[in-house]
Structure 1
C-alpha cells in the first residue's frame, strides 16, 4: 500500500474508532475510503470489520466505569447479542445483500426515533412498571429487551454499519440508567458481534482479508476508541442524543443514496 493511501486509511480509521465509541457508524467512514482506493467491496467490508474490532475494544474499556453494577444485565444481554451476530453471519452467506439494504434504512429511522424520544419512552416504561395493573410487565419488558438485542445482533452480523445507533436506541428505552450507561453497554454488545463476525471471516473468508488494511485500521481505530471514550463520557445526555441523531442521519443518507444508485 502506498504511503498516501495508508495515511488516508489511517485517518479514516482514527475517525471511525472515535465515533464508534461515542455512538457507532464508523464503517460509513472507512468503507467508502477503501472503495475509493480501489479495494474490492467484499474485501473492503471484511478487512474493515476486522480492523475496527480493536477500536471497539478500546471504546468498551474506556466506558468501563459506566458498566459498574450492571453485570447481571450484561450476562443476560451478551449471549443474545452473540447469538444474533452468529445468525447474521449465517444470513450473510445465504441471503442476497439487497434484503438488508432495504431493511437497514427503516431500522435506522426506528432507532433514531427511539433515541430522540428516549426520555418520554423511558418514562412510559417506568410508569407501566409502577402500575399494579401491569404486574407481568417486568418479564415482558425484560424479554422484549433480550429479543430486540438479539435482532440488533442479527443486523450487526449481517450489515455492520450503524448497528451502534440501533443498539443504543433500544437500550436507552428499555434499560434502566442514563444514556451514558446505555452507550457503555452498547460498546460491549457491538464488540461481541464484531468479534463473532471477525472469527467467521478468519474461518470462511481468509483469502479475502487485506492484512495491511486490517493492521492500519486496527492501530488507528484503537487510538480513536480511546479518544472517543474520553470525549463521549463528558457529553451531557441531550448533547449525546444530538450527536447520535446527527450521525444517524448521515448514516441514513449514505444508505438511501446507495439504494438509489
Structure 2
C-alpha cells in the first residue's frame, strides 16, 4: 500500500466512523476503498469489520448519556446481536457471497420504509393498542435484531439503518436513545465477528489499523453531530444514507 493509498484508507475510516455513529452504512465507504487499493473481497470485508470496532466503541461512548437507564434493554438485545453476529461471521466463511448480497437491497428498502412511516405507525399503534407497550420490544424485536446481527456479521453495510427501522417501530422511546442503542448493538455484532475472523480469516493489518485510527476520530465526530440533530433531520439523514446504500449495492 502506497502512502497516498494509506491516507485514503485512513480518511475512509474517519468517514465510516462518523456515518456509522449517526446512522450506519459506513462499510459502504471503507469497503470499496479497500477493494480499490487491491485487497481481495473477503480480506477487505474482514479487515474492515475489525477496523471499525474501535470506531463503534468511540461512537457508543459519545452517546453514553442517551444510554442511561437502558441496561436491561441492552442485555436482551445485545445477546441477540452477539448470537446473530457470530452466525453471520460463520456464514461468511462457508457460503458464497452472491446469494446473501442479493437480498440486501430489499432489506434496506424495507428498513427505509419503516423509518419514514415510523411516526405515523407509532401513532396508529398507540391509538389501536389494547395492551401497554413493552419497553423491550417483545419477541419480534429480538428476532429482528438477531437477523440483523446475522447480516451484520456477514457484510455489515447499513445494519444501522435496519436496526433504527426495527427499533423505531417496535420501541416506545425517542430516536436519539434508540440511536444510542443501535451503536451498542452494532459494536456487539462487529466485535464478535472480528474476534471470530482473528482465528478464521486472513486480515490485512495495515488496512485494519488505518481504518481503526480513522474510525475512532469519526466516532467522536459522529456522536457530536448526531446528538444535536432533531428527530426529523436525523430521520431524513437515515433515509438519504439508506438510498445511497441501496444504489451502491445494486450497481
Interval of TM-score (by shorter of Structure 1 and Structure 2) = over 0.9
* Other structure's SS at 1:4 match: helix
Structure 1 residues 186-220: Cα deviation after superposition (integer angstroms, max 9, x where no partner): 00001000001101110111xx2111111111011
Q: Match for residue 53 of structure 2? A: 53
Using the alignment, how far apart are the partners of 1:119 and 1:198 within structure 2?
35
- Answer whether contact 1:24 1:162 (CA < 8 A) is retained: yes
List aligned pairs for 1:69-218, cutoff 5 A: 69-129=69-129, 131=130, 134=131, 138=134, 141-205=137-201, 208-218=202-212
Show structure 2 runs of 5+ residues with no match: none
Is the counterpart of residue 221 in structure 1 residue 215 in structure 2? yes
Against the structure 1 CA distance between its residues 139 and 183, is the aligned structure 2 distance closer, same or farther, given a 3 Å change threshold?
closer
Structure 1 residues 49-104: Cα deviation after superposition (integer angstroms, max 9, x where no partner): 11011111111110111111111111111101111111212222222211211110
Is the counterpart of residue 239 in structure 1 residue 240 in structure 2? no
* Other structure's SS at 2:102 match: helix
The alpha-carbon deviation at position 37 of structure 1 amounts to: 1.3
Show structure 1 runs of 5+ residues with no match: none
Number of equivalences? 251
* Other structure's SS at 1:67 match: coil
- Answer whether contact 1:100 1:159 (CA < 8 A) is retained: no
Give the superposed CA RMSD.
1.6
Using the alignment, how far apart are the partners of 1:234 and 1:100 within structure 2?
36
Using the alignment, how far apart are the partners of 2:122 and 2:238 within structure 1?
17
Of Structure 1 and Structure 2, which has the larger fraction of its residues in helix?
1
Q: TM-score, normalised by structure 2?
A: 0.96
- Answer whether contact 1:55 1:222 (CA < 8 A) is retained: yes
The alpha-carbon deviation at position 44 of structure 1 amounts to: 1.0
Structure 1 residues 117-152: Cα deviation after superposition (integer angstroms, max 9, x where no partner): 1111222333344x2xx58x7499511111111111
Q: TM-score, normalised by structure 1?
A: 0.92
* Other structure's SS at 1:246 match: helix
For the pair shown, the structure with the greater C-alpha radius of gyration is: 1
- Answer whether contact 1:125 1:174 (CA < 8 A) is retained: no
Using the alignment, how far apart are the partners of 1:139 and 1:2 within structure 2?
50
Against the structure 1 CA distance between its residues 10 and 127, is the aligned structure 2 distance closer, same or farther, given a 3 Å change threshold?
same
Using the alignment, how far apart are the partners of 2:32 and 2:65 within structure 1?
34
Using the alignment, how far apart are the partners of 1:190 and 1:140 within structure 2?
17
Moved over 3 A (4+): 137-141
Using the alignment, how far apart are the partners of 2:119 and 2:128 within structure 1?
14
- Answer whether contact 2:136 2:171 (CA < 8 A) is retained: no
Against the structure 1 CA distance between its residues 64 and 140, is the aligned structure 2 distance closer, same or farther, given a 3 Å change threshold?
closer
